[in-house]
Structure 1
Amino acid sequence: MLVHFVVHEAFEAPGAFVDWVASRGFASAWSRVYLGEPLPVSPAGIDLLVVLGGPQSPTTTLAECPHFNAPAELRLIADCIGAGKAVVGVCLGAQLIGEALGAPVGRSPEKEIGKFLISLTADGLRNEKFRHFGATLAVGHWHNDMPGLTLAATIIAASEGCPRQIVEYTPLVVGLQCHLEFTPEAVEALIAAETALPSWQHHRFVESAEALRRHDFSEANAALCGFLDRLVLAYQESRRTS
């Protein structure tokens, strides 16, 4: 298994994804676009594409952010989906998946920064890849927007502040608006990068830096690993039957 990460900023770390890759003995490859590292030219060799978050939007242009080439990332995502690869997007990555499938990014009803509950939908509770989450799970959040929905998309989980926290586009393609991968180190990097955080305290789903630092994300990390294990099994089965 080769897991390829697309990383948009140094402060948008893969967190628990890296621990999962190492613990399962998988190989990893990287496109740290903020360092000028290139995207893959094709899906060949990739088994799981993980597109991480960032302060950009799918509509951000190269003029606005010279290291973020949204059209190129959309092509890569579409090519991986077309080739039957597993694809997971986190936050911005989830929004890019929607865009690649023709579903424009939307504005979330609420800004969410902190650790808040997500609730699984009836579809989510029936889904083998997510039922281990339970009816509710406390996870990380750091967003304004949310992924678009295709006609075939299934909402797996929602929160009080956002109706699209986990979206399954196909059995192998999933968008995570929430952050199951947060670790204390990843959160600290986000706090350091977000100078506007104190000015957002009037939002009802925005926590202070002090509150963010107190959270334990280990339960969400374990849920992420369980989901990824099940996704890999689904991917391997699809390769055997294709």
Structure 2
Amino acid sequence: MPQMIRVLILQHAEGEWIGSMHDWFTDSSRCNGFILTTVRLDQGEALLDVNAFDWLLVMGGPMSVNDEAHYPWLIDEKKLIRQAVEQDKTILGICLGGQLIAAALGAQVYQNSTVEIGWFPVSSTDAKVTWLPRTFSPLSWHGDCFKLPAGARAFASSAVTPCQGFSVGQRIWALQFHLEATFGTVDAFLACETSGLPEGEYVQSKTQLNSDKHLPQSRQAMHGLLASLC
């Protein structure tokens, strides 16, 4: 009997979990089924051994990958990601998670020219990535961005973020934008903005942010990406 796929979720903040991915994983017809395990790094929970999972989901968070002095567990997290790459695991990173994959692969993660918070257009730059619409407006919520690691292939960009995502082979995907966004995601992210939203040309108002019209297309793309990994 085929074994179920073990999925380790690395969570870095309250409310920044897997969102619209959850109902995809809990559909028993997907692949051989999944066992989900979440580790709350922000709450001091210990990382699992690289042999304890098949898929690795690295989620978002308000910290920077460069904040190792304040968040020393980032060092071990990057090490685990490198080990997962070496063992050819399936790895998906979103926002901070994508930046952690980039850093683990030796690429620079740096402060962007402007903060990007809102439902802004993202364009596909790789026709081979069939799950991604040619142009759509997912939720972006980041101030840092990444350069392309050696051997990686960029697949998306936006007006102020040259590389909105990259892949390495068929099993490693790093996204800047939040395809997992679902009802309640914006409220959770706003709660992490303890000093309020920053000002900027690419920062939408709370009214604009609370629009849910883009959620169905984001969910469809998210599920398409996951399906491509089975």
Query: Does the pair score TM above 0.5?
Result: yes
Contact 1:51-1:90 at 8 Å conserved across structures? yes
Find the aligned partners of 1:187 and 1:153 in 2 and give their Cα distance. Answer: 30
Structure 2 equivalent of residue 6 of structure 1: 10
Structure 2 equivalent of residue 32 of structure 1: 40
Structure 2 equivalent of residue 100 of structure 1: 104
How many positions carry a matched residue from both structures?
Answer: 221
Contact 1:115-1:215 at 8 Å conserved across structures? no
- AA aligned to 2:147 is G
- From 211, 215, 222, the equivalent of 1:214 is 211
Find the aligned partners of 1:155 and 1:109 in 2 and give their Cα distance. Answer: 19
Q: Any unmatched runs of 5+ in structure 2?
A: none
Structure 1 equivalent of residue 138 of structure 2: 139
Counterpart of 1:210 in 2: which secondary structure? helix
Contact 1:98-1:149 at 8 Å conserved across structures? yes
- Measured after TM superposition, the shift of residue 176 of structure 1 is 0.5
Q: Which has the higher helix share?
A: 1
- Measured after TM superposition, the shift of residue 184 of structure 1 is 2.1
Structure 1 equivalent of residue 57 of structure 2: 50
Q: Any unmatched runs of 5+ in structure 1?
A: 233-242
Counterpart of 2:93 in 1: which secondary structure? strand
Structure 1 equivalent of residue 113 of structure 2: 109
Query: For 1:78-103, what per-residue CA distance to the aligned partner results, in whole angstroms no more than 9, with x for missing partners?
Result: 11111110111111111111111111
- AA aligned to 2:201 is R
Counterpart of 1:114 in 2: which secondary structure? strand
Find the aligned partners of 1:58 and 1:193 in 2 and give their Cα distance. Answer: 16
* Identity among equivalent pairs (%): 32
- Measured after TM superposition, the shift of residue 35 of structure 1 is 2.3
- From 73, 83, 88, the equivalent of 2:87 is 83
- From 222, 225, 232, the equivalent of 2:223 is 225
Find the aligned partners of 1:57 and 1:188 in 2 and give their Cα distance. Answer: 21
Query: For 1:150-169, what per-residue CA distance to the aligned partner results, in whole angstroms no more than 9, with x for missing partners?
Result: 22111100011211111112
Find the aligned partners of 1:59 and 1:45 in 2 and give their Cα distance. Answer: 27
Find the aligned partners of 2:206 and 2:196 in 1 and give their Cα distance. Answer: 8
Counterpart of 1:108 in 2: which secondary structure? strand
Find the aligned partners of 2:118 and 2:23 in 1 and give their Cα distance. Answer: 22
- Measured after TM superposition, the shift of residue 11 of structure 1 is 3.1
Structure 2 equivalent of residue 152 of structure 1: 151
Trace 1:67-82 onto structure 2 (pairs within 5 A): 69-82=73-86
- AA aligned to 2:47 is L
Superposed CA RMSD in Å reads 1.6
Contact 1:86-1:173 at 8 Å conserved across structures? yes
TM norm structure 2: 0.90
Closer/same/farther in 2, CA of residues 78 and 231 from structure 1, 3 Å limit: same
- Measured after TM superposition, the shift of residue 171 of structure 1 is 2.0
Once superposed, which parts of structure 1, at least 4 consecutive aligned residues long, lie more than 6 Å away?
none
Counterpart of 1:183 in 2: which secondary structure? coil
